[in-house]
Amino acid sequence: MSFEKMKGKSLKLFRGKKDIEALSLFRDILLKIENKDPDVSDLPNHKVVEEKRNIYNNMLASIYRILSNQEITDKDELTAYLDEYKEYLDQYLIIARKTATEDLKTWSENIILILFENSFKIAILRDASDISDTEIQKESLRKDIKSLYQSFVNCFCRVNEFAEIMFSEKYLDLLYYERRNVNRGGYSGQNYLNALWLSELFLEPDMIKREPRTAKIRAAVMNLLSEIVLYSPLEEDDKRFGRERKAIEWLNKSIDEDPDNIYAKERKSQLTIFITSAEQINRFKHDAVSKIETIRGTIKKAIDLTSSSIVQETLKSTEASIDYILSSFRLTQKGIAKSRRIDLEKLFEQFNEDQLEKRITGKKRLIESDAGYILLILKNLIQNSKEAYGNSAYQKVRLSFDYDTKTFKVRDYAGGIPSDLVHNDKLYEPYASTKGIYQNSGLGLANVKEACRLINAELSFEIISENSEKGTEFVIKLNEEEED
């Protein structure tokens, strides 16, 4: 087959993403060029260089797609592809170094950037597959990334279109992708470690020289690091607002690097205001809780002193409301559960909302748990159900408890939960609301989930349909040991 026909067929396979077949044909074309076959011997030198450059670029893209889109379980096959990628990349960069400056201007900026990104990910895959020890793997990857970065900079920064800053920005894109994953639900924490480690690697002196023209890039990495530590899923605060204070430290470094860094200045101001406001709120909460507990103690004494059953009932109702308020304060601070034996029938007496049906089944006994948090959970769920009905006069809600399974259930017939909250795992997120136009703060279910976590209870729900009425039933299963 002639050179032109082979080239046409290989490109057709490549564009059709038949990468294994295309890669095989690319190898044959490269061999034809290297052997100076008759149909390529008349090509001028600059044309030969251009053809080899394009072939290497397509071969690298094909290997990357094979490794990205196919699950290669055979270790030898994976190693062969990785070795082949490294070999072709080395040849590609040799061409770039030897090519005259004017010719470099014809190289597509987009192709170079994509190749850099692909090569970066291949370097990670290579070290992850070759080395089992994490620390050795990290050191090997450190060397590979630095070598890769410097190779691209040395090859292409001789021309303005391929300046060092361009590659730095691409590196930032890769870091930002990892940082975004940190903010998504369901992360393992590995994305945080990747983003943190790669960011710090970038700031090492032999990675990018510290000089005026790179100041903005270094400052941008420091801005990114401030966000990474702020959303760290792995580190516990070593002091109050520890993450915010660490973020401010990086923002200060960013401002030192680039005094005109508007983002860093505004973000620092936001975090400083947040810390100051939160500290003032915490001081208020501490003072408020202290005074409320004093009032609660006074009410307890008054209950013992009065002989009037009406006054006693009124004071007990007030005491229950105070317990609810104190539990809400504890929840905001993720306070540990205060377990004690609970009489569920007495606890149920505190729920007297209109159209509330109450039911207790099973053998009666005392249950060990945190009464304040249970009260908070059930009140929030009942209130959520009531608000889900909107302005309807019909607002039936059923509250039940079964001693045998230690399970609470709160059921309504308000039409169910919007599908976008159910299917996107957003139901328990703060500011998500099940109530449509009737929504308030959207914190009710978020508080319910947190309180269930603190008392070690399982929280679930299901959409129910009963006598043509559609609604929602929340289930809270206690896992604490019971007391007889």
86-117 pLDDT, tens digit per residue, is 888 888 888 877 765 455 555 666 667 677 77
In single-letter form, the type of residue at position 186 comes to: G
Residue 409 has pLDDT above 90, yes or no: yes
| Mean pLDDT of the region 373-384 | 88
pLDDT of residue 424: 45
Residue 456: its H or E element: none
58-94 pLDDT, tens digit per residue, is 888 888 888 777 667 777 887 888 888 888 888 888 8
CATH 3.40.50.1100 fits 342-478, yes or no: no
| Mean pLDDT of the region 36-54 | 79
Q: Which phi and psi angles does 156 have, rounded to 5°? A: -115, -10
pLDDT of residue 79: 81
| Range picked from 46-60, 206-220, 364-378 for highest mean pLDDT | 364-378
210-221 pLDDT, tens digit per residue, is 666 677 777 887
**Cα(263)–Cα(254) distance, integer angstroms:** 10
250-268 pLDDT, tens digit per residue, is 899 889 988 988 889 999 9
pLDDT of residue 360: 93
**Cα(477)–Cα(223) distance, integer angstroms:** 44
| Mean pLDDT of the region 25-48 | 82
pTM above 0.85, yes or no: no
pLDDT category at 440 given cuts 50, 70, 90 is: very low
- Output the CA–CA distances (angstroms, integers) from residue 329 to 176, 289, 299, 441, in the order listed: 36, 8, 19, 17
Residue 133 has pLDDT above 60, yes or no: no
Q: Give the residue with greater pLDDT, 221 vs 141.
A: 221
351 contacts 375 by C-beta, under 8 angstroms:
no
pLDDT of residue 402: 93
313-325 pLDDT, tens digit per residue, is 888 878 777 877 7
Residue 477 has pLDDT above 90, yes or no: yes
Nearest in space to 96 (alpha carbons), one of 162, 32, 30, 160: 162
- Please spell the DSSP secondary structure of 62-84, one letter per residue: HHHHHHHHS----HHHHHHHHHH
Q: How much of the chain exceeds pLDDT 70, in percent?
A: 69
